[in-house]
Structures are given as structure tokens and as C-alpha cells.
Amino acid sequence: MLFPGVIFMSASWNPTASIENLRARADCYRTIREFFHQRQVLEVETPVLSVAAVVDPNIEPMQTTEQRYLHTSPEYAMKRLLCAGSGDIYQICKVFRAGEAGSRHNPEFTMLEWYRLGWDHFRLINEVAELVRLLLDQPQAAMEIHRYRDAVSRFAGLDPFTATDDEIAALGIQLAGQDLQLGRDGWLDVIVSHQVEPALPANTLVFIHDFPASQAALAKTRVTAEGIAVAERFELFWNGSEMANGYHELTDVVEQRHRFEQQADGRPLDEQLLAALRHGLPACAGVAMGLDRILMHRLQTPKIRDVLAFDWFRA
């Protein structure tokens, strides 16, 4: 029966992903769960809504009418579980970030995050590589590990630790095609995304570590033999995409509060996380991985909508 004055869009109710691609997603989840089951890593579930938001100035959270925030990562809640004695844990969950709708981004997306007690970020790199090879169905994929300083110097022709702010900004403006009024770290991100990432070797798991200490977020820092302060964290790149971000986790609550206060910009601090850290976070390393991007590479599609049942515009 037709209704006068109503225009029907015959395809608007359909999923954006094919049923075949949805099966690939289910296979991905099954592989992850079997991978961690074999290693006796506990699957956990934490709240999607919380009273405090992430303080990272580069991430914009979504807020509900009840003044709660949709989480941008399960990191804070998972660390509270670690402090409570959970042992090694992982989680597959939906996360939410405002203003990220496009061909490669969806404001609601799926993240895998896990933590390993007693590990540092270098040991975690090997486990990340093992899992990603399975998920990409690339069992023989090559792997390279580079220091941030070496990668930026080699592929962008600039030493990120000794170059002046003006030199970094000039290259960033050249690459971006406009002056985005960014600080030193913002322009370094532009240089990495526009110059370094596209130049990395194809079909290779490329891990970059020892980022500037100013980009530590929730990672430990240390001073290198050259006297440079670096963050004990890594990022994984595959064929021009960032795939994962891992930390040797900061356990010092005083330092963590200091970083939160510097970055909060009016957002409420997660006092429950800080209370848990005061109780004691065991030495550990953790990593977050975007599963939609993994699926995009596995299925060789440039559009995130092709791996989502319903993307942002059909949800």
C-alpha cells in the first residue's frame, strides 16, 4: 500500500556492508577470542557511559543529556580492573568519537584493546604482529621496527628532536597546503601522516616507537642514550594506515594526574581511575586496535561503510 506524499527510498534501510563482509567480521571476532583464549587472557566488558571523558585534546567525546560521556576507548575502566587484580584482559567494544564521519572514519567504531601484565611495549609488539598477521590473513607478512626519530629523519628529511619549531611548522604547512595554526606536536602529526606513512614499505607491518615525550599520553617516558626524552609507546602501520597504538603503561599516579590537569581543558578528570592508580596499577603494556580498519584491509576496500552493518548515515 502506498501513502500519498511519502517518498520511499528503496535502499535506505539496507545494510551498507554485504552479508559476506559481515561474515568476515564474525570470523575476525572468533579468531580474536580463540587467540586470547589459548593465551589465558580474560575477556571483559566495561561501561560504554562514564562520568568523565578522555582528556586527550585530539579526541572529541560525545556527551549524553544525563551529562555522561560515551567512551572513546575502554582504557580507563580496563585499568581499574587491572588495579583490582583482574590479570591479563582484553575487550572488543564499540567506541565513539565526535566529528569522525567519512570514507575511512565512522563516529561509532569497533576497538580491540588488551593488557599484558609484566610486559613492556617491545614484548607486546611481537604479540600484536602475531595477531594482525592472522586477522589480515597475511601469515608471512614482513615486519620492521623503527625509532620515531629514524623514521621521520629518513622519510621526511627532518630530525623531529633537533629541528626548530619554525622548521617543523614550515614543512607541515607545505605538506598540508595551509597554515592550520598548530603547535609543534600537531605539525609533527601532519608530517607523519602526510609524508612518513605514505612512504613506508607496502605489505609490511611497520612499528614505530620512541615518540617525543610530549606525546606520551598514558605511557611511561625515559631518556635515551642521546639524552632525548621519549615516550615508551608504539604505533603500527600497514599499507598507509595506522592500525594500533600501544603503551608501556604509566603507573605513577602523581605524574598521571599532572598530565591530565595539563590536557583537560575544562573536561572533568576521571577521579575513579586516579583512585585506582593510587591503589596500584601493576606493571603492564597495553594496546588499542581499530577492527574496522583491519577488516577494510582484509577485504581490500577503501570505504569503512563496506565493513559496517549500518554506517553513520544509515544508523
In a domain, 29, yes or no: yes
User: Does 11 reside within a domain?
Assistant: no
Residue 150 included in any domain: no
Q: Residue 181: inside a domain, yes or no?
A: no
How is residue 115 written as a grid cell?
A: 593488557
2 belongs to a structural domain: no
Give mean pLDDT in consecutive 10-residue pieces for the chain, a chain of 315 residues.
43 92 98 98 97 86 90 97 98 92 91 98 98 97 98 97 97 96 96 96 98 96 96 97 97 96 88 97 98 97 96 93
Q: What pLDDT sits at residue 278?
A: 97
pLDDT of residue 66: 86
Residue type, 93: C
User: What 8-state DSSP symbol labels residue 196?
Assistant: I
Q: What is the pLDDT of residue 11?
A: 74
What pLDDT is attached to residue 307? 98
Note whether residue 252 is domain-resident.
Answer: yes
Backbone angles phi, psi at 29, to 5 degrees: -65, -40
> Does residue 129 form part of some domain?
yes
Domain containing 89 equals 19-141+203-307
Residues in contact with 174: Cβ distance below 8 Å, sequence separation at least 6, in sequence order = none
* Angstrom distance (rounded) from CA 12 to CA 225: 58
Q: For residue 194, give Cα distances in angstroms to 174, 177, 178.
A: 10, 11, 13
pLDDT score of 5: 47
| pLDDT of 266 | 81
Q: What per-residue confidence (pLDDT) applies to 53? A: 85
Q: How far is CA 278 from CA 82, 273, 283, 307, in A?
A: 12, 9, 13, 41
User: How many structural domains is the chain composed of?
Assistant: 1
Q: Can you give the CATH number for the domain in which 298 is found?
A: 3.30.930.10
> What per-residue confidence (pLDDT) applies to 73?
96
Could you tell me the CA-to-CA distances from 137 to 26, 207, 295, 302 in Å, in that order?
A: 15, 18, 11, 18
At 7 the pLDDT is: 42
Q: Is residue 300 in a domain?
A: yes
